[in-house]
C-alpha cells in the first residue's frame, strides 16, 4: 500500500463550484472546510497490493529490517530508470527578495540514463552506478560492483522488487555461483517497502528536478556528485513499523475498499 500527499492544480470540487452547488458564499465554504480540517486540494495516492504472497513477502522484508542477519550487510536496491537530461529553453531568473526561483515550463530532451543504486540500511551509504539501459546485463554488472565493494566475509541480503530483470536466467545462474547473495522480494505495488525509494525521492528533489543538463554526461556528473555528498555524510533511514502493524492497516484498507460500490456509483 502506498500513500503520498501531493497538491493538485485544481481540486475536483473547487470552492466556487461547491458554493454554487450548496447555495452559499465561497467564504462560507472556506470557513466550513477550515473548521473541519478539510483540504480538497490535497490528494493521497494509494494502491493495495494484490500479490498472493503479500503477507509472506512483507513479513520477510520487515524481518530483515528489524532483525538484520549477523555478519551480513542489508542493501535496499532498485533502478531509477529513464532519468531525463533536461535543458530549459530559457535561463532561470535569479532569486531575489519576494520572488521564488523560476524555470521555463518547457524543455529540451538531451537523452536519459538509468541509475542502479543500493542503500546500506545500517550506514546510509549508497552504492550507485549510471548505465545506459535497464536490462539483465546491466543488473549483472551492478551485482559485480556490489560483490567487489562488500567485504568477502559478509553475506549480502538485498531487498528489491519483482521486475523481470531481477529474476532473469542469467541473473539466477550468477547468483548460484555467488551463494553469499540472498534476495528478498517486496510484494508487487509495494515500492514503499523499499527504503531506497526514499533516497531516490531526495535525489530527485535536491539534484535533478531543478537541474539544467545540456547532455547525459552533465546529468551523470550531477548524480555522482550527489552520491559523493551523501556518502561523505550518510544519514540512514530507520524502519520502525512491525509487520503486524502494517498487516492490520492493510486489512482496514481492504475492508474500506470492499465497502465502496462498483464504479464508485452511489447506491440509491
Same domain? For 93 and 223 the reply is yes
Nearest to 194 by CA among 62, 63, 51, 44: 62
pLDDT the model gives residue 3: 47
pLDDT the model gives residue 41: 74
pTM for the structure as a whole: 0.79
- Given the C-alpha cell 525521492, which residue does it identify? 201
Same domain? For 92 and 1 the reply is no
Dig out the grid coordinates for 4 from the structure. Answer: 503520498
Same domain? For 32 and 158 the reply is no
pLDDT the model gives residue 106: 63
| Cβ-Cβ contacts under 8 Å for 65 (sequence gap 6 or more) | 74, 121, 195, 239
Same domain? For 85 and 154 the reply is yes
> Using CA atoms, how far apart are residues 76 and 121, in angstroms rounded to an integer?
7
Give mean pLDDT, residues 29-39: 85
Number of domains in the chain: 2
> Using CA atoms, how far apart are residues 107 and 220, in angstroms rounded to an integer?
18
> Using CA atoms, how far apart are residues 191 and 126, in angstroms rounded to an integer?
18
Same domain? For 109 and 70 the reply is yes
Same domain? For 199 and 146 the reply is yes
Same domain? For 3 and 63 the reply is no
262 falls within a domain? no
108 falls within a domain? yes
Q: Please report which residue ranges of the chain form alpha helices under DSSP H.
A: 15-22, 26-35, 54-66, 136-149, 169-177, 196-203, 216-232, 243-258
pLDDT greater than 50 at residue 268: no
Same domain? For 99 and 199 the reply is yes
CATH code of 221's domain? 3.30.420.10
Neighbouring C-beta atoms of residue 69, cutoff 10 Å: 13
Between 254 and 153, the more confident residue is 153
pLDDT greater than 60 at residue 181: yes
pLDDT greater than 80 at residue 10: no
Q: What is the mean pLDDT of the chain?
A: 86
25 falls within a domain? yes
Same domain? For 105 and 215 the reply is yes
254 falls within a domain? no
pLDDT band at 102 (very low <50, low <70, confident <90, very high): low
Dig out the grid coordinates for 149 from the structure. Answer: 565493494
> Using CA atoms, how far apart are residues 144 and 142, in angstroms rounded to an integer?
5
Same domain? For 42 and 81 the reply is no
pLDDT band at 99 (very low <50, low <70, confident <90, very high): low
175 falls within a domain? yes
Nearest to 118 by CA among 200, 14, 217: 200
pLDDT the model gives residue 141: 96
Same domain? For 42 and 59 the reply is no
Q: How far, CA to CA in Å, does 234 sit from each of 125, 204, 227, 240? A: 6, 17, 10, 19
pLDDT band at 264 (very low <50, low <70, confident <90, very high): low
Q: Which domain holds residue 71?
A: 54-243
Same domain? For 80 and 27 the reply is no
264 falls within a domain? no
Amino acid at each position: 500500500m502506498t500513500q503520498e500527499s501531493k497538491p493538485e492544480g485544481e481540486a475536483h470540487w473547487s470552492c466556487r463550484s461547491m458554493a454554487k452547488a450548496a447555495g452559499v458564499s465561497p467564504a462560507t465554504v472556506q470557513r466550513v472546510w477550515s473548521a473541519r480540517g478539510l483540504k480538497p486540494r490535497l490528494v493521497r495516492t494509494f494502491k493495495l497490493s494484490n500479490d498472493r504472497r503479500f503477507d509472506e513477502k512483507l513479513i520477510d522484508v520487515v524481518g530483515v529490517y528489524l532483525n538484520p542477519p549477523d555478519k551480513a550487510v542489508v542493501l535496499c536496491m532498485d533502478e531509477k530508470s529513464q532519468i531525463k537530461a533536461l535543458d530549459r529553453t530559457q535561463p532561470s531568473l535569479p532569486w531575489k527578495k519576494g520572488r521564488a526561483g523560476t524555470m521555463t515550463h518547457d524543455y529540451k530532451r538531451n537523452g536519459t540514463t538509468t541509475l542502479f543504486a543500493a542503500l546500506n540500511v545500517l550506514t546510509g551509504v549508497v552504492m550507485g552506478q549510471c548505465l545506459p539501459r535497464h536490462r539483465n546485463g546491466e543488473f549483472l554488472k551492478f551485482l559485480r560492483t556490489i560483490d567487489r565493494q562488500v567485504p568477502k566475509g559478509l553475506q549480502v541480503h538485498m531487498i528489491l522488487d519483482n521486475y523481470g530483470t531481477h529474476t532473469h536466467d542469467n541473473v539466477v545462474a550468477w547468483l548460484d555461483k555467488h551463494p553469499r547473495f540472498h534476495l528478498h522480494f517486496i510484494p508487487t505495488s509495494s515500492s514503499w517497502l523499499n527504503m531506497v525509494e526514499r533516497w531516490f525521492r531526495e535525489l530527485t528533489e535536491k539534484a535533478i528536478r531543478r537541474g539544467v543538463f545540456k547532455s547525459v554526461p552533465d546529468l551523470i556528473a550531477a548524480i555522482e556528485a550527489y552520491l559523493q555528498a551523501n556518502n561523505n555524510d550518510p544519514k540512514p533511514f530507520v524502519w520502525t513499523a512491525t509487520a503486524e502493524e502494517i498487516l492490520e492497516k492493510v486489512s482496514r484498507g481492504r475492508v474500506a475498499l470492499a465497502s465502496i460500490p462498483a464504479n464508485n456509483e452511489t447506491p440509491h
